[in-house]
Structure 1
């Protein structure tokens, strides 16, 4: 269930209440006239089944409540109410399959913004991966994958393409490209410093490295795994099962590929640098394509579900 807190202008409250009452899957409606001060208006509270949430939010936006008042949405972790149970049963579809497009757009907007924290995380992840590729240490590679925040901008690109939000697409691409560029440049400097300290050597990089040589040897499986991870990642975001993102993070080699490219470039090992760059490109392409296809499929399935329910089947 979702909890909605709305601030509505007094003249729009009746329309908002009517919309809530007509939306299947809503309950616990509360109206507090004149309770809001900034902005001034009425306070309207209600609970809605997740599978009916997107329809209700779209209706509220059509009424302009996001411009003239406020719309706040919270997840309800526990609701002990027979009315809530009945509302969830009446709502069409399954809660796990429902996509809150407004929430997805807002979440990816936040995760795809180029910030100091984002740059710090992706840079640290790339330097950790640099240690992993030189030492041929798979544990460090997995750790770097888990630390890397690059799935946020990738999800932003997928969402922007499906929802046709050019500004979100631009912001996400800037975060993705600039983040990797800064991380790789810093890692080049890090490599020179580690070489001067005698901790990194070209001999280590050129060794067989059985645990990490896949990073600069892209193949068909690179694209397949990235595509599967992209689909899983988008499902984890749309179904609010964020724990699955950890599995996605450690299944693709974007950050390790960027790290290997930076280290190889530092040592003049251009064959590895190019192979790592190919690996990075394949992974990014696979994630985006699969993410877009996943969102389009969910959008089609949900619209079909709505059409079936509206026709009475």
Structure 2
């Protein structure tokens, strides 16, 4: 169940109420006239199943509420209401499978923002990955993968293409390019310092590393894992069930590959740089393509569910008249 909190300019409130009243999925509808102070207007609140959110939000956008007012969509953790239960049961689809596009798009924008926090996590994750390579430690590689914040910007590439959001595409590309460049440069400088202090030598980087050799030796399985991981990650981002997202971070070697690129640059090891750079590009490409295909499939499926719901709403309106 989702809760809508709408700040509506007074002139638009009648249209907003007509839209919500006409939808059988909407329950708990309330309106407090004059409650909104900025902008001046009314406060409208309602409950509705997750499966019905997209059509209602699209209708509110068509009215123009978002230009002067606001529309908040908030998940309801616990609720008790027979009318709401009946509405959820009669709405086509499953709440766990439903994709709330406004929610997914907002999260993609928020987590793809290029800021100091994002760059810090990228740099620290890449630094841990480089240490993992020197020590040939799988545990540290996993830690670096979990810490890296790059998955959502990669998923945002596919979302931007499916939802036709060029601003989001630019946003995500900028975050990925600048994030990886800053992280690699910072870790390269750190590796040069470690080299000067005698902490790390070229032998540490080129010696046999059975536990972390996959980082700089891309093959068909690198691409397959990236595709499968991206599909699982996108499902975790769009579904109400998000428990699998951390598993995606642990399966994709983008951050470790960036760490090995930095080590290769610091010690002038061209093969390490080329192999790891190819691994990095292969993973990002596979994740972006798989994310795009997964989101396109979900959009097609939910377009059919929306059409079924539209026919249901039309029949109920016909009965009411």
- TM-score class, shorter: over 0.9
Aligned equivalents of 2:75, 2:214: Cα separation in 1 = 41
Q: Tell me, which stretches of 5 or more residues in structure 1 are unaligned? A: none
Aligned to 2:187: 187
**How far did residue 22 of structure 1 move?**
1.7
Aligned to 2:42: 42
1:125-180 deviation digits (Å, cap 9, x = unpaired): 00000000011000000000000000121122111111111111011101100000
Q: Which moved more, 1:264-273 or 1:144-153?
A: 264-273
Aligned to 1:213: 213
Aligned to 2:96: 96
Three-state SS of the structure 2 residue aligned to 1:11 is coil
Aligned to 2:262: 262
Aligned equivalents of 2:120, 2:7: Cα separation in 1 = 38
Q: Tell me, which stretches of 5 or more residues in structure 2 are unaligned? A: 316-321
Aligned equivalents of 1:90, 1:283: Cα separation in 2 = 41
**How far did residue 24 of structure 1 move?**
3.1
Mapped pair 1:108 → 2:99: no
CA RMSD across the alignment:
1.3
**How far did residue 242 of structure 1 move?**
3.2
1:228-284 deviation digits (Å, cap 9, x = unpaired): 111111111111333322111111000000101110121111111100011001100
Aligned to 1:290: 290
Aligned to 2:26: 26
Three-state SS of the structure 2 residue aligned to 1:95 is coil
Three-state SS of the structure 1 residue aligned to 2:12 is helix
Aligned equivalents of 2:48, 2:197: Cα separation in 1 = 60
Aligned equivalents of 1:115, 1:24: Cα separation in 2 = 43
Aligned equivalents of 1:311, 1:228: Cα separation in 2 = 35
Aligned to 2:318: none
Three-state SS of the structure 1 residue aligned to 2:34 is strand
**How far did residue 309 of structure 1 move?**
4.3
**How far did residue 192 of structure 1 move?**
1.0
Aligned equivalents of 2:68, 2:178: Cα separation in 1 = 36
Three-state SS of the structure 1 residue aligned to 2:28 is strand
**How far did residue 68 of structure 1 move?**
2.0
Aligned equivalents of 1:305, 1:40: Cα separation in 2 = 36
TM-score (norm 1): 0.97
The count of corresponding residues between Structure 1 and Structure 2 is: 313
TM-score (norm 2): 0.95
Q: Are the aligned partners of 1:222 and 1:283 in contact in 2 as well (CA < 8 Å)?
A: yes
